[in-house]
Amino acid sequence: MSTDKKMVLRQIGAKIAYFRTLVGISQRELAAKINTTQSTISKVESGNYNDNLSIVMLTEIADALEVNLSLLLEFTGYEKAMWDRKIGETRNG
């Protein structure tokens, strides 16, 4: 089974948004912490950052949010099952 890259980027983005909200900072504040723009953070969180998110940027985001990088990159069985369901819906629909 192949992993849908777009689905992975969306999930990583959702996790970033989740942890950012828990920390209580805005996209603009996170952007300032990693020396980028609010627009870039918005694209990352929506999974639309040029379909290419670097490990350097992920590390900077994790550091800024004070979370372990692995929390952004590990996915539960439930999350993976959701990807399979979405991919199946796309192929069948």
Q: Alpha helix locations (H) across the chain?
A: 5-23, 27-33, 38-46, 55-65, 69-73, 77-92
How many CB atoms neighbour CB 29 within 10 A?
A: 14
Q: What's the average model confidence in pLDDT over 48-53?
A: 80
Amino acid letter, 76 = T
Q: Contact at 8 Å (CB) between 66 and 56? A: no
Query: For residue 9, which of 63, 73, 82 has the smallest C-alpha distance?
Result: 73
Residue 76 is given by DSSP the state: -
What is the C-alpha separation between 16 and 14, in angstroms, rounded? 5
| Residue pair 6/51 in contact by the 8 Å Cβ criterion | yes
What pTM did the predictor assign?
A: 0.82
pLDDT, tens digit, for every residue of 68-82?
Answer: 999 999 988 887 777
What mean pLDDT value characterizes the chain?
Answer: 87
